[in-house]
Amino acid sequence: MITVLKKGTTQAQMEHLIEWLKARNLDVHISHGHDYTILGLIGDTSKVDMELLSSLDIVESVQRVSGPYKQCNRQFHPEDTVISVGNAKIGGGNFCMIAGPCSVETEAQIIEVAQKVKQAGADILRGGAFKPRTSPYDFQGLGAEGIRLLLEAKKATGLPIVTEIMSVQYLDLFADIDIIQVGARNMQNFDLLKELGKTDKPILLKRGLANTLKEFLMSAEYIMSEGNQNVILCERGIRTFDTYARNTLDLTAVPVLHELSHLPVIVDPSHATGKVHLVPPMAMAAVACGADGVMVEVHNDPIHALCDGAQSLKPEQFAVLAEKMRTVRKAVTQ
Amino acid sequence: MITVLKKGTTQAQMEHLIEWLKARNLDVHISHGHDYTILGLIGDTSKVDMELLSSLDIVESVQRVSGPYKQCNRQFHPEDTVISVGNAKIGGGNFCMIAGPCSVETEAQIIEVAQKVKQAGADILRGGAFKPRTSPYDFQGLGAEGIRLLLEAKKATGLPIVTEIMSVQYLDLFADIDIIQVGARNMQNFDLLKELGKTDKPILLKRGLANTLKEFLMSAEYIMSEGNQNVILCERGIRTFDTYARNTLDLTAVPVLHELSHLPVIVDPSHATGKVHLVPPMAMAAVACGADGVMVEVHNDPIHALCDGAQSLKPEQFAVLAEKMRTVRKAVTQ
Amino acid sequence: MITVLKKGTTQAQMEHLIEWLKARNLDVHISHGHDYTILGLIGDTSKVDMELLSSLDIVESVQRVSGPYKQCNRQFHPEDTVISVGNAKIGGGNFCMIAGPCSVETEAQIIEVAQKVKQAGADILRGGAFKPRTSPYDFQGLGAEGIRLLLEAKKATGLPIVTEIMSVQYLDLFADIDIIQVGARNMQNFDLLKELGKTDKPILLKRGLANTLKEFLMSAEYIMSEGNQNVILCERGIRTFDTYARNTLDLTAVPVLHELSHLPVIVDPSHATGKVHLVPPMAMAAVACGADGVMVEVHNDPIHALCDGAQSLKPEQFAVLAEKMRTVRKAVTQ
Amino acid sequence: MITVLKKGTTQAQMEHLIEWLKARNLDVHISHGHDYTILGLIGDTSKVDMELLSSLDIVESVQRVSGPYKQCNRQFHPEDTVISVGNAKIGGGNFCMIAGPCSVETEAQIIEVAQKVKQAGADILRGGAFKPRTSPYDFQGLGAEGIRLLLEAKKATGLPIVTEIMSVQYLDLFADIDIIQVGARNMQNFDLLKELGKTDKPILLKRGLANTLKEFLMSAEYIMSEGNQNVILCERGIRTFDTYARNTLDLTAVPVLHELSHLPVIVDPSHATGKVHLVPPMAMAAVACGADGVMVEVHNDPIHALCDGAQSLKPEQFAVLAEKMRTVRKAVTQ
């Protein structure tokens, strides 16, 4: 960590600060320039409060050199994390397709979709039981009944299940779910992250709409610091000024996250774009830049879907896309 | 609500959609143009899922005319909401100053700050007991003990207290707190909002870093739709590309929120800017554009503060600012 | 174009507005709702000033249905534009690789790079002679001498040349250049666009860092409305809150621009990311989502490059990438 | 300037880089940490290409300590710049009101507005002759005739004139104009900035929609580095995700620019918000946070204005606002 002191900082102020830093078990290297003084802080800086430091009157700026994340940092854990659920593997050179409807509606619907996406090559079934909606008047999902239907679909097809949790109070309902998803709006719901960190379930953590990649990794670190090492990172679009698509899919996040962390990285082009016809090109782009998996909405009857229906591919469209994704994956990894 | 149908939509598709809309108790006015057809939807459109509609293949675009928020909408409730806690009133022509440290540290600290900000004219004491921090390794607040110390400060000074809740599981601890704050990162933690909507406590809701004003109002609506009408809106900076200050304080939100809603609107320049010397000018700007209150961090010993210390004014700096804010308030309201 | 009138608009005000609209040769369809009145404007709305309309006191909102761009609008020109320079073709199912150094430095440098990228399969040589730099103290390019050296490289290899213009006063120097580039910062330098519209040179127009796709198309329209139909659109990253890469590459722009316009769309991953190791994955992603070409910085001696050097691949790295791009292109188009 | 070298940089690579830096007349202080090496660069770093440096493979990050701007840097020029035109003074404790229509339309219009805003206390008349418009089909201003009419209004009232230039080819027309405005879209039109730097006219430079404050100052530096020290900075809103107002007015820019630079800072709430009713509160907020002036659109017949009409106040509304701004100014400076 580098701290630059302002011109005009007195010797006493500087010594006061250095004392404070040393009390935090850091070594301090001092480098005097003409206009400023640089302090190089050596040691475990992950516990230094960067915002506090940078807000001090005498401090010009503070810069971290190593990320404050430890457990998800590739520097300390060079080997790719591989997460196994059922027959599916995520990360470490495996490519994983997750597919299913935005919302679970009926037993017939979820079982039919599950069977069709399995046939098309999907490895994992997704489906929403608890739905985060901007408006309290929009459909909020089937809740516990949705979880039950997902488990029926698992029984019928053998596909592992991923579904979203919105509050710790429902954790018991997720006992037989294979992967628990944390949505973009809850990426910094730290109490939820900590509780999930105490379980041993794989967690699919979605990036917040306005969160930097370092904040994203810090949220993974919240989970991991409580003991649960099974985190899957999911890029799903960020909020920018352009409004043609629902959000701006930040695919550069894929190689950057792979560089900074050993955790698997997947991409959700359905929520990012919000439009069916943009899903296939962006899914293929995700594969081409190295994503470990793609999560796609598939619905057997998009017109009547209760929620986000028409950002869903039909099963036969998904089958075509799945084939193309495999071809692109082969092209980039061969 | 206006729905524009794409060129090439068949009569059958259109009729199918209109039937779906009518089943939702809406009247539909059809207007045929050369290149497109416009459907005007009349009735209670707050329950129509705009994302679903706009993602249909035949739909070019969807636009809401009335906001989907009802209870916080000034159109339906023209009178300003006024929230009273102790001797303080917020909204409806009253101006309110909230001050206090970022984090509660010790009994001596919080009582001293409380006494000093009261003397300078503050109406309400703020202080953090549960702290949302980007890193799991940063100081997370004193928790329950912090709440206890805040209540001691209330006893000593008579100032009402506002402090942040991060999870519904701690709600019991807030029984004697006067205003419960929901932080920016939890603005769309819908389960938390719903639970707070079942209480009768005033809720100070902070705007999320990447949330539009309409989403902000929808989050207020989540609280109000459960019965609790006592919501205070707080602008605290949004995330943009510029990085000089911590966030970009969006003061235009103040007159816009006043136009769209009857709820009181306050501004937090301390968290928005992250720098002490920017707090006074931005606090005065907030007053000048009509904010119903300003929330400022004040600390008796900024250098040693455990958290966000140096974005805090010293009590004597706050006293000068408080005097200036009163002068500006008088200038704009006379 | 749809105009929604506010509740409370008087009959006289509405008639006044309708008269004003009819004077602009528009038909107006009126649709009365309970809370608002909708005007559907039929006719050539491209000449209606949307900002003016939306700023009127009685107007709630204005929404365009057809884009205000005509000549670059696929709706009116369904066939892909194909631009030919030398042996290269851009658009209409052709895939084009553009490569070369950020800045032209010496004759030896540019000829060597040109020969090597040609050998690796590049179709067009890029190189900067006039360089837009944030600081007046940074290297500004060789100017006219740079153009001369590029033409030497063209002579030596037969590769067509693309290079950036920054001011109309230098237009004469570009007489033998094959494609003139307009940089991101000049995307809305309307006087420059108009002058280029009077030439018959292909124009490679880069998207501005904070411009929507509709504004991007309007800038193409500026060129085309003066007569020059040969415009190539180039996505090169937008400015967002994340700072890990230099900008955020918005690949979704590729399928969206293809949907809205018949113009070819290429991608520049070198400027978007600013980091060599991110160029190959993002170049492949661009190919996978359907880009008509990719423009990549290649330098024979990155360490010593005068400008942006190390965002450049070495020629041998480019050769590997070119091979991979061809494989991915084949996978997505087969 | 601080350069952090990556773990794994060899001694030879580091020495190569240091040699390159020393050839640029910089002293280099080396500080070895466990995981990284810090180079502190001492000397005139304004000429070091930061992007080049940061893109080198061995470089983890680069950070400037002093801004690369020299002539507009308050550190080197602590005294406020005061710009005088006619009887008006801008900067250095003076408060300046600039008012007038978006576009010049007729002699009667501009003279009437000029007289009325003068009466209300305006110091300078604004009016657009050359208009930058997103669409080539929108009204582009009266051009040379507009300049002539502005000069008539100057003759009639004695008010100095500010109007926008869009291309260097029209510079001769601005001979009798008092202040030349550079619009937001041309903030990085470096050739235009350099030409204006060779004149001695005051330049009112508007901030680009997606430009950081440091880039804004670098554009001022472009003008100043050619000899012209008379630059006025104007905040006019930045582009963010929120779309209620036209742009997001970044008022924190006012105290920050005052801290970093000695140049005067004014605010344009009319273009920032795009809505008449938001102009007064934001104008007052600008005054309250210390702006040296405010530029407001005023039109004698908003309904019929050719361009941006209804973001204009009527003269009598401006008179009320002007009085209020004076009161707030007095409150904050007393």
**Is there a contact between C215 and D134 (Cβ–Cβ < 8 Å)?**
yes
pLDDT band at B307 (very low <50, low <70, confident <90, very high): very low
Q: How far is CA D113 from CA B93, D179, D283, D284, in A?
A: 35, 18, 19, 22
Helix (H) or strand (E) holding B40: strand B37-42
Which residue type sits at C24?
Answer: R
Instruction: Please say whether the dihedral angle defined by the alpha carbons of residues B175, B181, B185 and B191, taken in this order, is positive or negative.
Output: positive
Residue of B50 and D169 predicted with greater confidence: D169
**Are residues B35 and C239, on separate chains, in Cβ contact within 8 Å?**
no
pLDDT band at B302 (very low <50, low <70, confident <90, very high): low
Q: What is the pLDDT of residue D307?
A: 42
Among A191, A228, A279, most B C-beta atoms within 10 A, so best to mutate, is A191
Between CA D327 and CA D131 the distance in angstroms is 33
- Between helices D107-119 and D144-157, what is the axis angle to 10°? 40
Which residue type sits at B186?
Answer: N
Q: What is the pLDDT of residue A75?
A: 83
Does the CB of C185 have a partner CB in chain D at under 8 Å? yes
- Between helices C279-288 and A253-260, what is the axis angle to 10°? 140
Mean pLDDT by 10 residues, chain C (334 residues): 83 85 83 75 75 77 77 91 97 97 93 97 97 86 96 98 95 97 97 96 97 96 97 97 90 97 97 92 98 95 52 90 96 89
The alpha carbon of residue C273 is apart from the nearest alpha carbon of chain D, in Å, by: 10
Q: What is the pLDDT of residue B66?
A: 67
A161-177 pLDDT, tens digit each: 999 999 999 999 999 99
Contact pairs from chain C to chain D, CB under 8 Å: 130
**Are residues B65 and C4, on separate chains, in Cβ contact within 8 Å?**
yes
A62-103 pLDDT, tens digit each: 877 666 788 999 988 999 999 999 999 999 999 999 999 989
Residue of chain D with shortest Cα separation from C67: D135
Cβ neighbours, 10 Å, residue A108: 10
Closest CA to B159 of B114, B202, B200: B114
- Between helices D190-197 and D213-224, what is the axis angle to 10°? 40
B261-293 pLDDT, tens digit each: 999 999 999 999 988 899 999 999 999 999 999
Does the CB of B25 have a partner CB in chain C at under 8 Å? no
**Are residues D133 and C190, on separate chains, in Cβ contact within 8 Å?**
yes
A208-253 pLDDT, tens digit each: 999 999 999 999 999 999 999 999 999 999 999 988 888 999 999 9
Which residue type sits at C63?
Answer: Q
Among D10, D14, D47, D137, most C C-beta atoms within 10 A, so best to mutate, is D137
**Is there a contact between A295 and A122 (Cβ–Cβ < 8 Å)?**
no
Between CA A207 and CA A186 the distance in angstroms is 9
Residue of B104 and A312 predicted with greater confidence: B104
Closest CA to B284 of B250, B320, B328: B328
Between CA C158 and CA C8 the distance in angstroms is 68
Which stretches in chain D have pLDDT values below 50? 305-309
Between CA C45 and CA C62 the distance in angstroms is 12
**Is there a contact between D248 and D237 (Cβ–Cβ < 8 Å)?**
yes
Q: Nearest CB to C191: which of D134, D166, D210?
A: D166
**Is there a contact between D180 and D32 (Cβ–Cβ < 8 Å)?**
no
Token digits of residue D234: 């104007």
Look up tokens 């819908």; give the residue.
Answer: B190
**Are residues B282 and D290, on separate chains, in Cβ contact within 8 Å?**
no
**Is there a contact between D41 and D3 (Cβ–Cβ < 8 Å)?**
yes
Strand extents, DSSP E, D11-155: 27-32, 37-42, 59-63, 83-85, 88-90, 96-100, 124-126
**Are residues B256 and D250, on separate chains, in Cβ contact within 8 Å?**
no
CA dihedral B255, B260, B265, B270 (to 10 degrees): -60
Does the CB of B245 have a partner CB in chain D at under 8 Å? yes
**Is there a contact between A260 and D60 (Cβ–Cβ < 8 Å)?**
no
DSSP annotation of A299: -
Among A38, A58, A211, most D C-beta atoms within 10 A, so best to mutate, is A38
Partnered with residue C39 across adjacent β-strands are C3, C30
The alpha carbon of residue A159 is apart from the nearest alpha carbon of chain B, in Å, by: 27
**Is there a contact between D248 and D255 (Cβ–Cβ < 8 Å)?**
no
Among C14, C26, C50, C51, most D C-beta atoms within 10 A, so best to mutate, is C51
**Are residues A40 and D42, on separate chains, in Cβ contact within 8 Å?**
no
| Residue D121 zone, left/alpha/beta (φ > 0; ψ -120 to 50; rest) | left
Q: What is the pLDDT of residue C309?
A: 46
CB < 8 Å to B239, chain C: 241
**Are residues C134 and D215, on separate chains, in Cβ contact within 8 Å?**
yes
Look up tokens 């991608």; give the residue.
Answer: C267
Q: What is the pLDDT of residue C303?
A: 54
pTM of the entire structure? 0.91
B156-180 pLDDT, tens digit each: 999 999 999 999 999 999 999 999 9
Q: How far is CA D282 from CA A101, B252, B287, D250, in A?
A: 46, 7, 11, 10
Token digits of residue D52: 């080049």
Size of chain B, expressed as the number of residues it contains: 334
Show Cβ contacts of residue B317 under 8 Å, excluding neighbours closer than 6 positions. B276, B280, B298
* pLDDT surpasses 80 at B308: no
**Is there a contact between B210 and A239 (Cβ–Cβ < 8 Å)?**
yes
Q: Which of B31-45, B95-109, D220-234 has the lowest mean pLDDT?
A: B31-45
Q: What is the pLDDT of residue B260?
A: 94
Show Cβ contacts of residue D252 under 8 Å, excluding neighbours closer than 6 positions. B244, B245, B248, B249, B272, B273, B278, B282, D289
| Residue A167 zone, left/alpha/beta (φ > 0; ψ -120 to 50; rest) | beta
Enumerate neighbours of A (3 or more CB pairs within 8 A): B, C, D
D233-281 pLDDT, tens digit each: 999 999 999 888 889 999 999 999 999 999 999 999 999 998 889 999 9
Residue of chain A with shortest Cα separation from D60: A65
Q: Which of residues 104-143 of A touch D (CB under 8 A)?
A: none
Enumerate neighbours of B (3 or more CB pairs within 8 A): A, C, D
Alpha helices (runs of H) in B60-202, residue ranges in sequence order:
107-119, 144-157, 190-197
Q: Phi and psi of B319, rounded to 5°?
A: -60, -40
Based on DSSP, count helices (H) and strands (E) in chain A, helices before strands.
10, 14
Which residue type sits at C306?
Answer: L
Burial code of D65-103, b = ≥16 C-beta within 10 A, e = fewer? bbbbbbbbbbeeeeebbebebeebbbbeebbbbbbbbbb
Here the ipTM equals 0.89
Q: What is the pLDDT of residue D300?
A: 83
The alpha carbon of residue B288 is apart from the nearest alpha carbon of chain D, in Å, by: 5
Between CA B313 and CA B321 the distance in angstroms is 9
Mean of pLDDT values over A197-203: 97
Closest CA to D40 of A39, A65, A48: A39
Token digits of residue D116: 């009325």
Q: What is the DSSP string of C63-74?
A: E-SS-S--TT-T
CB < 8 Å to C285, chain A: 251, 285-286, 288-289
Among B105, B171, B191, B240, most A C-beta atoms within 10 A, so best to mutate, is B191
CB < 8 Å to C242, chain A: 212-213, 238, 250
CB < 8 Å to A256, chain C: 244-245, 278
Cβ neighbours, 10 Å, residue A57: 14
Does the CB of A168 have a partner CB in chain C at under 8 Å? no
Strand extents, DSSP E, chain A: 2-5, 27-32, 37-42, 59-63, 83-85, 88-90, 96-100, 124-126, 161-165, 179-182, 203-206, 231-235, 265-267, 293-297
| Residue C308 zone, left/alpha/beta (φ > 0; ψ -120 to 50; rest) | left
**Are residues B31 and C31, on separate chains, in Cβ contact within 8 Å?**
yes
Residue of chain C with shortest Cα separation from B66: C35
CB < 8 Å to D275, chain C: 55
Q: How far is CA A227 from CA A44, A168, B162, B167, in A?
A: 20, 17, 34, 21
CA dihedral D144, D148, D149, D155 (to 10 degrees): 160
**Are residues D285 and B289, on separate chains, in Cβ contact within 8 Å?**
yes
* pLDDT surpasses 70 at A310: no
Mean of pLDDT values over B214-226: 96
